[in-house]
Each structure stands twice: as structure tokens, then as C-alpha cells.
Amino acid sequence: MSDLDPKLTFDSFVVGPANRLASAAARRAADSPGTSYNPLFLYSSPGLGKTHILTAIAHQSSKGEAKSVEYMALEEYLDRLAGSLQAGARDGLYGDLDLLLLDDVQFLTGQPEAQEMLLKTLDQLTSAGGQIVLASDRPPADIDGLDARLLSRFSGGLIVDLGPPEYETRVAIIRKKAEERGQTLEQGVAEAVAKAPFKNVRELGGVLNKIFATQDLEGRQVSASEVTKLLQEQDEVAALGGGSDEFGSFLDELASSVAEAVEKTEEPWRKEIREALESADRQGYVVHRLEVVKGDKEPKGWEQLVEGFKADIRRLREIDNELERLGNPWPEAAQGVLVDPDRLEEAEALLASVRERQRPFPQLGDGPLLHDLSGFDAMALKAAAQLVGEEKPEYNPLFVWSSDESLGRTLLAAVGRTYKETFADQRMAVASISHFAEDFIRALADGVAGAWRERWWTVDLLLVHGIQDLSETERAQDEFFHLFEALKRRGARMMLVADRAPSNVESIDDRLRSRFEGGLVLELTEGDAADLELVEHAAAEGSEGIFVPDLKAGQSERQDTRTIEPVPAALPEPPTKGGAWFPGPENVVIHWPRIEELLIEEID
């Protein structure tokens, strides 16, 4: 098998919506060769991860049941084919493999004999239960002159394309790459690079390499404002990025090593291994790693082998205790993992997911409850109080907007505090859209997106402000839609705040807009809460800020002279005299110049 880059594994492959299916199918092929998706055909434009995935399959399969694995580019396959033909063999190649990984299959064009031999190889390999995975820069149907029988065989398996990563995945890739290179990036740098219109990940990596080189050579941090200039220096980028697989592929891997079983001999080492094996076996741990070194010769590095085995067991025990302390929500996932030192990586991943699932949300600072607020529109206060009342709210979600968004955040914070007064044991999440998107990017980079999703999907009250910022996201917008749907199915309560009406939030999915408009939409005018001084209270974690009112000294004793008529129990019919009456594009509350004269609520 060709030399494999040890850095290109599944661990270093950042998964996003554009490559999720390809990654999942590749893992299945590596873990269970020949059982499904056979052949597996991957295609994409250059630089989007095909070679990375093929190499990752080879690394992963070597840890499993596959005993014979071959990975090569088509050019190498053709060279070996020519040698085989010269030797008089015409019955195909590699039919006895467990796994054959073949890259650059597009070069089958104009190679009829190679196509014939590949067809025979494929037939022999699949009939023997082997797996074949192929990669190309185009789908099978676009490979000129491809034998119809090969096209049929490829179509009989699974054909998957890898698209370019969307914005959030690009940010996650950049941050992970920086972490692996021991680099830190100034705030906004990863986002600025990710927004550039690169065709593939290699181009993205070239600019990042220039940033790293600048920081190393000049001993300073590159700022977000410098990114545009770096993006324009294509010649320098090419000079820096050329010639290195590490730079070209961009997706480096967290270092990994596989213990080698070698020679063994005599008493001292035999005793140490036996005692370690027997102790672990008594405690219920899998001891396969030590059993395979039994023999007549002393294995090299057996001391490190035994100590590594013991260290892994100690770590498994620590993970087990930590999971018990956290209250592992997925006990079935821990079965078998926590007793097998060879599955320590899986145990670490499980612990990371449980920590993410149990991570508390930022909390609101001290401030007024709903009944402490004065100066707000009565309809807004009534709808907010109903949202967090004992009974199921009639209007959910509650969407509040104002050109002065701090008014909405003030009301939102009071809603959150009132809810916690009534439902102390319920889970509440308070965030801005920018925090939501950042949190998702972090989860992607940490490999805990599934646990992150479950954490958000199980809240009882969702309070989100800055909804208009959804227009600046890609994947986060889709995640927010699915969060909305999940909470709606559970009957969770939601309040959303923006600086504009849903109909004016640009570049968002119409499905999401219709969900916003499906609840109750209220506008807070500039005159609302005009007597309150707004101050920003930071949440308990991070820099997530919520605006809450803070009364001036002595203000609490000052009598509010304004009066607001309560909302009538039965609202009057909309006026039709003198012409037709048309509501706005969303469910709205219409404010007349003097609220005490008339208030009309139009609800579907």
C-alpha cells in the first residue's frame, strides 16, 4: 500500500452538511467492509477532501477487521496493471483484498483495457466480500468513454458528492487548524477568512498559512482588518503554500499512534505482562492488547506497553467516575466502551458529549421582573406575562421588535427572571443569534454537535435577541429552524427579539419567517419605557449581554404619571367603512396615535 499521510484521519476531518453523507458512508465502509455501499463512489471538485477521506478509510480499516488493504491513485493501478499484463496475467488485480481504495478514477478515460481489468477486479472483490471505494473529480456519468458495465456497477452502489464547506464549517476548520498548529487568532480573523469566496479548502488553507507565517516571523497577531490584504496577495500565498501536503490538504490531523506487537522473551517481562493482564481481567476490562504479545521472545518496549495499558485503564476509570458524577444521559453508549482500553478514544468522545449536553446556559443578571416594569405597552406586558404564566400560552412564539432593540431586550430579560421565579426547575436558554452561531461553531470544532443540538432542543423557555442577525449566517440559520421546530413539538415557550419585523429580516428561509409570523408579533415604539435608563448586565458566563432596566436612585419612589388603558377582553371588529381594511404581512398589533382610543389585534 502506498505511504499514507498519518495526519489524514477521520478525527481531523471536519464534518459539515456538504460532506456528512460521504463521511458517514466512508466510516461504514472502513468499519464493515463489503457489508453495504459497495462500491462506494465519491466525487467532488479538487481540494474538497476526497483524498483525505480515502486515507482516513485506510487508517480506520487497519484498526478493524480488514486484514489486506490497498490504497493507490489510478496511475499506480495502471502501472501495476501493465506489469501484470506483461507477466501474462489477465484475470484482474487485487481480487483477494478486503478493501481497495482507488483515487483519480476520472483517468479511466481512454483506457478500455484498464476498465476491463477494473471490472474484473470489482467482480472478484465483491463476490469475495471485499469492499471497493473510488474517488473522482466528476460523477461516473461524466467520465468520457466509461464502459457501460462499469457505470452500471458504480450506480449499483452509492455515489456521493462532497460539496464545498459552508461558512460555519469553514470557521470551525480554521479554528481547529489554528489550535493544532499552536496558533491563536485575533477576534474576527477566522470569520473574515471564512467569508472569502474560495473554491476549495486548499485555497482557504493557503491564506491561513500566510497568516501563521506572518505571526511567526513578525512576532505579532494578524488583525481582522489585514485579512483582505492577505487575500489579495495570491502570488505570495501560492509561494508559501506550494509543495507541502500539510499546506495543500489543510486538514491536518491530531497525532495518533498504534501500538506494535513485536518479539517476546523470558521471565521478568512475562511476569509483568501476566500480572497486568490478570489484574485487568479481574476488574472486568478487555485484555486483548496484552494477550496478543504472548510468545517466546521478549517484545521491544514491553515496559511502555504495560504502562500504557495500565494508564488507559486508569483513564477509563476516571471517565467512568466523571460520567457518573455528571449523570450520563446515554448509559447504553457507555456499555462496552468503558471496559475496553482500545476504545479509550470513544470513551473520551462520549465524555466530551456528556459534558456538552450537561453544560449550563448563561444566566441573567439581577434586575426587575415583569410586574416591576412600567412604561411598556399594556399589550406587550400582557402577552409577555401570558408566555410565562401557569397556563399554556395562547401566543407562542412571542416576537417583539423595535428600532431600538434595547427595549425588546429589557422586556426579554424581565420575562426570563419572571419565568425562573415561577418555574425554578425548568431549563431556560438566553442568547443572542451571534452567541447561538458562535456556540454552534465551537461545537462543530469540538466534535460534539449532536450533544450541542440535544442540549438546545430540550430547553423549556428559549429567549433569543438579535434575530435580524440570522441573515448573516448559513448553517446556523438552518440549525435555528430545526431548534424552533423541535421546541414547538415539545410545547416549549419562545420569545424572540429583533430590531425589525419578520417581513423585513432579509436573507432568511421563508419557512423560518413564517414560523416567526405564526405566533404574535408586537412592535415596541420609541416612547415605550422612555423613563428607564438601560444598562447592560453581562450574563454569568462569557460576554453574552442582556439589556435590563436599572432605575435611577430614588426613581422607584417616583410616581409614574402616565396611564395606559388595559386591553379589552373582547376586541372590536376592524373598521371597514370607507374602504377595505388589510392587515400587514404578519400577525400584528396595530397602534393608533392614541392607544386609549382604539387597539386592534388581528390573529389568524
Which residues touch 12 (CB under 8 Å, ≥6 apart)?
A: 52, 176, 180, 251, 252, 253, 254
370-554: which CATH topology?
Rossmann fold (3.40.50)
Proportion of the chain in helix, strand, coil states, percent, rounded to 5:
50, 10, 40
Predicted local confidence at residue 563, as pLDDT:
33
Is the pLDDT at 460 greater than 60, yes or no? yes
pLDDT for the residue numbered 65: 64
Identify the band that residue 423 occupies on the pLDDT scale cut at 50, 70 and 90.
very high
Per residue in 8-33, is it b (16+ CB within 10 Å) or e — as a string? bbbbbbbbbebbeebbebbbbbbeeb
H-helix or E-strand spanning residue 590: strand 589-591
Q: How confident is the model at residue 457 (pLDDT cuts 50, 70, 90)?
A: very high
Alpha-helical segments (H) within 6-138: 20-31, 50-62, 74-86, 112-127
Q: Do domains 10-161 and 370-554 have the same CATH topology?
A: yes
Q: What angle do CA 76, 82, 83 make, to 5 degrees?
A: 95
Mean pLDDT of the chain: 77
Distance CA(244)–CA(253), nearest Å, equals 15
d(CA 93, CA 102): 12
For the record, the C-alpha cell of 288 comes out as 486483548
Considering only 97-106, 169-178, 258-267, which range has the smallest mean pLDDT?
Answer: 258-267
Q: Is the pLDDT of residue 578 over 60?
A: no
* Distance of alpha carbon 69 from alpha carbon 174, whole angstroms: 32
> Which option is the CATH number for 10-161: 3.40.50.10420, 3.30.1330.200, 3.40.50.300, 3.40.50.620?
3.40.50.300
Mean of pLDDT values over 240-266: 36
Rounded Cα distance between 388 and 398, Å, is: 11
CA 296 to CA 294: how far, in whole Å? 7
* Cβ atoms 210, 233 nearer than 8 A: yes
User: CB neighbours (10 Å) of residue 439?
Assistant: 22
Given this structure, which CATH class describes domain 167-249?
Answer: mainly alpha
Residue 190 — very low, low, confident or very high, per pLDDT cuts 50/70/90?
confident
Are 314 and 261 within 8 A, CB to CB?
no
Phi–psi pair at 534, nearest 5 degrees = -90, 130
In the numeric block, the cell 509483568 is attached to 272
Q: What are the b/e assignments for 540-564, b being 16+ CB within 10 Å? A: eeeebbbbbbbeeeeeeeeeeeeeb
Extents of the domains making up the chain? 10-161, 167-249, 264-358, 370-554
The strand pair at 69-73 and 99-103 is best described as parallel
For the chain, how many helices (H) and strands (E)? 22, 16
Which helix (H) or strand (E) segment holds residue 352: the answer is: helix 344-358
Higher pLDDT, 433 or 335: 433
Please report, as a single letter, which amino acid is at residue 88: G
Helix (H, G, I), strand (E, B) or coil at 58: helix
Q: Which three cell numbers, joined as nine digits, stand for 133?
A: 471505494
Amino acid residing at 139: P
Q: What is the predicted pLDDT for the residue at 93? A: 62
Task: Look at residue 94 in the predicted model and tell me its pLDDT.
Answer: 65
Whether the per-residue pLDDT at 540 is higher than 70: the answer is: no
Query: Can you tell me whether residue 512 is helix, strand or coil?
Result: helix
Per-residue pLDDT of 366-384, as tens digits, reads 899 999 988 788 888 999 9
Share of residues in the chain with pLDDT > 90 (%): 25
For residue 30, name the pLDDT band (cuts at 50, 70, 90). confident
- What values do phi and psi take at 463, rounded to 5? -120, 115
More confident residue, 38 or 574: 38
Single pTM value for the model: 0.55
Do 150 and 118 form a contact (C-beta atoms < 8 A)?
Answer: yes
